[in-house]
């Protein structure tokens, strides 16, 4: 059977094509989206995925937890592999476990083998680096083949989102899709209309594509470094020469895909050696605690929750009892906005690139399709809306439009027989 698979940095979906109908498959219980998280418990032979992985890990079960694996594709970290419960494991195999689990869920649900897949991909996995870009796609393709897909094709994620929205349009519209997820921001300028849906080649309708490796993960990092890490010693000094503590360990503790790489005996020793010379030992010992107790993901999850809370509230307080009894961090939305401002500006400038490429002016755009969880961030939404005051804004199915659109693309590429 043909399917579409949106392997996201934060969340993933899979759509099935039966004849001309495309539907999203329940992947975890009744849920059609599954968090892109994997947990290998010490005393279990098989991996756990999604919300279940997150719950087991956050409840303190011992094992190796991973999120934001998509960010590793194409990078040198892919070659290093990772130690999982004492054994070296290739990232290809970790990713294969996750994608294979999605495939198996779809097969259980439909009773049919998934053979052909259109996978989503960001316009650029990496910025200004075409080698990394093609390596990342090749790696994803090999993983999909290794878990049993016979034919694997790719489509840009924002184009897939456009195809999902096209079904709801009443007239032809010039649209800009802004897909801002966990790992990347991706844009396409595309002509959409219901009567164009069945065209076998849409190349002429796609006027421009652009993308940048900035997403919600980077907003988590910005918020962590500006509002949380200072209470863990970031920016404080040590030693007689009043040197600042090294910044990299704090940066890595704030980046989903890097936390695990901090958990080494060498890093523990390096930080322990600095502690007696720290000028802010109460704060810095909290960092050491995160490191030694492996609580980095738990902290970053609290940061992310705080970020999401700031979408609806002007002020949020994160309770961090797992670090220290009664320890809490309060953040105002204004502080978050200031922390992410440079990234918001880079995203907007990438939209300008997309428009230039498409040779389209801002005022020509009739419809803005906002998709991806990060388009909820008020500063981002407001900035994009202000750029296109004349355009309609569509915000439906933010977490599933890419997966659905990849299903429609699967029909175009592989036919309806499946």
Ligand X SMILES: Nc1ncnc2c1ncn2[C@@H]1O[C@H](COP(=O)(O)OP(=O)(O)OP(=O)(O)O)[C@@H](O)[C@H]1O
Q: Which residues bind ligand X (CB under 6 A)?
A: 8-11, 36, 70, 157, 181-184, 215-217, 304, 307-308, 311, 372-374, 376-377, 399
Least Å from the CB of residue 332 to Mg ion:
28
Chain residues 158-187 in contact with Mg ion, contact rule CB under 5 A? 181
Return the bridge partners of 120, or none: 155
Contact of 177 with 158, CB cutoff 8 Å: yes
Q: Of the two residues 9 and 254, which places its CB atom closer to ligand X in the complex?
A: 9
Q: What stretches of 167-295 show up as alpha helix (H) in DSSP?
A: 216-223, 248-252, 259-262, 265-274, 281-293
User: How do strand 185-192 and strand 206-212 relate by DSSP bridges?
Assistant: antiparallel
Does residue 74 interact with Mg ion by CB under 5 A? no
Q: Of the two residues 17 and 214, which places its CB atom closer to ligand X in the complex?
A: 214
Q: Give the burial string for 271-310 (b: 16+ CB within 10 Å, else e).
A: beebeeebebbebbbbbbebbeebbbbbbbbbbbebbbbb
Contact of 3 with 117, CB cutoff 8 Å: yes
Q: In what order do the strands lie in the sheet with 173-180?
A: 206-212, 185-192, 173-180, 367-371, 392-394
Q: Of the two residues 161 and 320, which places its CB atom closer to Mg ion in the complex?
A: 161
Q: Of the two residues 4 and 373, which places its CB atom closer to ligand X in the complex?
A: 373
Q: Which stretch binds Mg ion (CB under 5 A): 8-16, 57-65, 275-283, 291-299?
A: 8-16
Least Å from the CB of residue 70 to ligand X:
5
Least Å from the CB of residue 310 to ligand X:
8
Does residue 8 interact with Mg ion by CB under 5 A? yes
Nearest residue to 289 (alpha-carbon basis) of 303, 275, 279? 275
Structure token pair of residue 320: 């961090």
Task: Give the residue at shortest CB distance from ligand X.
Answer: 216
Q: Of the two residues 9 and 224, which places its CB atom closer to ligand X in the complex?
A: 9
Does residue 4 interact with Mg ion by CB under 5 A? no
Q: Of the two residues 258 and 283, which places its CB atom closer to ligand X in the complex?
A: 258
Does residue 216 interact with Mg ion by CB under 5 A? no
Contact of 297 with 65, CB cutoff 8 Å: yes
Which partner in Mg ion, ligand X, none is near 397 (CB below 5 to 8 A by kind)? Answer: none
As a whole number of angstroms, the distance between CA 152 and CA 201 comes to 18
Least Å from the CB of residue 271 to ligand X:
28
Q: Given the rule CB under 5 A, which residues bind Mg ion? A: 8, 181
């Amino acid at each position: 059977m043909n399917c579409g698979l949106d392997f996201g940095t934060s969340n993933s979906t899979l759509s099935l094509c039966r004849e001309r109908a495309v539907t999203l498959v329940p992947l975890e219980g009744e849920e059609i989206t599954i968090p892109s998280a994997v947990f290998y418990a010490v005393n279990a032979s098989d991996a756990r995925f999604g919300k279940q992985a997150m719950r087991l890990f956050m409840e303190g079960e011992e094992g190796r937890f991973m999120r934001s694996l998509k960010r590793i594709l194409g990078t040198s970290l892919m070659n290093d592999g990772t130690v999982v419960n004492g054994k070296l494991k290739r990232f290809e195999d970790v990713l294969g476990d996750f994608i294979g689990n999605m495939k198996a869920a779809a097969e259980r649900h439909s009773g049919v083998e998934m053979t052909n897949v259109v996978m989503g991909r960001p316009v650029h996995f990496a910025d200004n680096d075409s080698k990394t870009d093609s390596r990342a796609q090749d790696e994803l393709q090999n993983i999909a083949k290794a878990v049993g897909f016979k034919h694997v094709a790719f489509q840009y994620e924002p184009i897939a989102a456009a195809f999902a929205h096209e079904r709801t349009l009443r007239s032809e519209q010039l649209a800009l899709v802004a897909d801002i997820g966990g790992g990347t921001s991706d844009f396409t300028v595309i002509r959409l209309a219901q009567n164009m849906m069945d065209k076998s080649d849409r190349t002429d309708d796609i006027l421009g594509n652009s993308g940048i490796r900035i997403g919600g993960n980077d907003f988590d990092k910005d918020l962590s470094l500006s509002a949380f890490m200072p209470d863990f010693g970031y920016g404080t000094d040590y030693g007689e020469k009043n040197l600042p503590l090294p910044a990299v360990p704090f940066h890595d503790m704030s980046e989903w895909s890097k936390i695990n790489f901090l958990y080494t005996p060498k890093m523990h020793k390096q930080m322990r050696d600095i502690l007696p010379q720290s000028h802010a030992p109460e704060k810095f010992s909290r960092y050491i605690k995160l490191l030694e107790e492996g609580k980095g993901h738990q902290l970053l999850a609290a940061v992310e929750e705080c970020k999401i809370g700031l979408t609806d509230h002007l002020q949020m307080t994160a309770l961090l009892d797992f670090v220290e009894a009664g320890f809490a961090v309060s953040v105002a939305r204004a502080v978050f906005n200031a922390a992410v401002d440079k990234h918001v500006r880079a995203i907007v400038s990438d939209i300008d690139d997309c428009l230039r490429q498409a040779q389209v002016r801002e005022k020509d755009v009739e419809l803005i399709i906002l998709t991806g969880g990060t388009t909820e961030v008020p500063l981002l939404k407001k900035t994009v809306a202000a750029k296109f005051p004349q355009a309609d804004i569509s915000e439906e199915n933010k977490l599933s439009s890419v997966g659905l659109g990849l299903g429609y693309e699967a029909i175009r590429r592989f036919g309806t027989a499946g």
